[in-house]
Amino acid sequence: MSINLRTVYAFAREMYPKTSKETIQYGTAGFRGKAEFLDSVMFRMGVLATLRSRYRGGSVIGVMITASHNPEPDNGVKLVDPKGEMLEASWEAIATDLVNVSDQELEQQVAKIIKDNNIDVTTSSQVFVGMDNRYHSPRLLKAVADGVIALKGNVKEYGIVTTPMLHYFVVAANTKEAYGKPTEEGYYDKLIKAFELLRNGRLENGNYRNSIIYDGANGVGARKMLQFIKRMKGSLNVTVINQGIGVGKINEDCGADYVKVQQRPPKSMPEDVKPYTRCVSVDGDADRVVYFFTDDKGEFHLLDGDRIATLVAGYLMELVTQSEISLRLGLVQTAYANGASTDYIVDQLKFPVSCVPTGVKHLHHKALEYDIGVYFEANGHGTIVFSDNAKATIAQVAQTKESAKTLLLLIDLINETVGDAISDMLLVETILNHKGWDVQDWISSYNDLPNRQLKVKVQDRNVIETTDAERVCVKPEGLQTEINQVVANYKRGRSFVRPSGTEDVVRVYAEAATKEDTEILAYEVGLLVQNLAGGVGPPLTKPNSSAHL
């Protein structure tokens, strides 16, 4: 099989010319931006995925078209490596160079990638492509497919799927179906079978009631949840709101990010919802999940990724202890984890904790160092990974111990490849059912410290550099010293700043003993960023004034 790289150039020039002169940066999980500027990016990622597949000996590579929790006009692309992990870090630079060269330089750049990585272009390649339900996703999917075809690669289009489903398909195919069948039905079957075996016909237990309200963010997660419901035979009663069918824009006033950041329920909540009803929100591509409820006084309560992590870690530790198995367990967090959750995990659960920089690729990599690694970001993105040693040990003990049998079923219920909102939700429902807990039992395990996040617009986000898992700012010089001085004024105060991975803003996180102190601390640190890191735009509004931060 011979490949003429002129074909790549011809495709790009005629069908997917580069229309933006701005440099596109690789974010925490790929490229993201306004959909009208992404056609050339998508075509080139199709080219890159084909080369990556050949570089990895013909293994399947995944390409997911989604902007996740971003507004509907945005779109983006995520590449999935053979084991379901994010694209290898060293190839992020290759991807960045490829999307930023001019059309005239594209042929030469592709040739450089082939030469530098010693890629045999005569070998076969396989690329799986999926997309979310944004109106511009089909056009962008075609661009990816044409990029694959330009290098004579094989492409399989899955249509509208969640991001975790595409990760699952990639791993299932690359393990020759040992992980499951690489089909949509195979995905449903694996999760539902494990969930219903774990339920074992006991739909309610103690304070646990078998019904939830599910906010689908008007995204693909709503559509797939409706498919789950059709197949679940009443093992979980789910009311789906924000279905995105005919009305509602993706992530607009709904979804996991909205609920987490705004600290309020999504739009379209049923008016007759009873206090303490379990509610769950996923994001636009269903790789994040958070729980929430309203109490009998009408007050909103959030159960975020930290809460899910502590619930899961405690339950897994119970099962491992009951099974009398010696395994290394660990929980991985980021600096965004609430300080109270970390204290609870370390002091109460006695569960080892590691802190890594923001981004699922960092958490996943660290979690792989344990036999059972639990990782969740506070935003609700996370999963659990099991080593081969753990799986073999658990399988052996499961022959005689029920607790180990439960662990085996949990392994099937969990999508180890990436954070999966639906899989994680089914896991939480399983644990709450087994414990006989409702949301009041769950939230009473510890008290969150009040926290506040805000964004400060800057001229160039790259002026901010951090270390120590993003908890310490090293540039610009002097900023961290100023932050330390401000934080010292507040009981249980903590704050850090980090540059956004996708836009010219600096993200500020603050927590303290009281909500009032937290608001003021966030404001004061935000001011420091504005003054010392090239802030642009209107000044921050001081708390307790008529306008909020």
Across 81-220, where does the E strand assignment appear? 126-131, 154-160, 211-215
- Residue 234, Cβ density class (10 Å: 0-12 exposed, 13-18 middle, ≥19 buried): exposed
- State the angle between helix axes of 388-397 and 402-413 in degrees (0 to 180), rounded to the nearest 10: 140
The CA R_g of the chain, rounded to the nearest whole Å, is 23
Question: Do the annotations mark residue 378 as ligand-binding?
Answer: yes
**118: which DSSP letter?**
T
- The three-class DSSP label of residue 537 is coil
Q: Which of 20, 40, 59, 68 is catalytic?
A: 68
Question: Do the annotations mark residue 44 as ligand-binding?
Answer: no
Q: Which residues contact 282 (CB under 8 A, 6 or more apart)?
A: 214, 215, 216, 217, 219, 221, 255, 256, 288, 289, 421, 422, 425
Question: Do the annotations mark residue 196 as ligand-binding?
Answer: no
Dihedral sign, CA of 155, 157, 163, 166? negative
Alpha carbon distance, N-terminus to C-terminus of the chain = 60
Question: Do the annotations mark residue 56 as ligand-binding?
Answer: no
Question: Do the annotations mark residue 231 as ligand-binding?
Answer: no
Contact 518, 505 (CB under 8 A): no
Q: Which residues contact 17 (CB under 8 A, 6 or more apart)?
A: 40, 103
Question: Do the annotations mark residue 68 as ligand-binding?
Answer: yes
Question: Do the annotations mark residue 498 as ligand-binding?
Answer: yes
Across 309-439, where does the E strand assignment appear? 329-333, 353-355, 372-376, 382-386
495 carries an active-site annotation? no
Q: State both tokens at 120.
A: 């045999």
Q: What's phi and psi for 265, nearest 5 deg?
A: -65, 160
Question: Do the annotations mark residue 377 as ligand-binding?
Answer: yes
Contact 42, 77 (CB under 8 A): yes
- Alpha-carbon distance of 58 to 43, in angstroms, equals 20
Question: Do the annotations mark residue 162 as ligand-binding?
Answer: no
Dihedral sign, CA of 191, 185, 67, 74? negative
Question: Do the annotations mark residue 295 as ligand-binding?
Answer: no
Question: Do the annotations mark residue 287 as ligand-binding?
Answer: yes
Half-sphere exposure of 19 (CA within 13 A, CB side): 12
Question: Do the annotations mark residue 502 as ligand-binding?
Answer: yes
Distances (CA, A) of 164 to 155, 184, 251: 19, 11, 18
- Alpha-carbon distance of 143 to 131, in angstroms, equals 12
Place of tokens 């084991």: 83
410 φ/ψ sector (left φ>0, alpha ψ -120 to 50, else beta): alpha
Half-sphere exposure of 323 (CA within 13 A, CB side): 26
Q: State both tokens at 215.
A: 């906010």
Across 319-470, where does the E strand assignment appear? 329-333, 353-355, 372-376, 382-386, 451-457, 465-467
Q: State both tokens at 7.
A: 């074909």
Question: Do the annotations mark residue 507 as ligand-binding?
Answer: yes
> Could you tell me which residues are annotated as the binding site for substrate?
377-379, 498-502, 507
> Could you tell me which residues are annotated as the binding site?
68, 283, 285, 287, 377-379, 498-502, 507
> Could you tell me which residues are annotated as the binding site for Mg(2+)?
68, 283, 285, 287
Residues belonging to the active site: 68
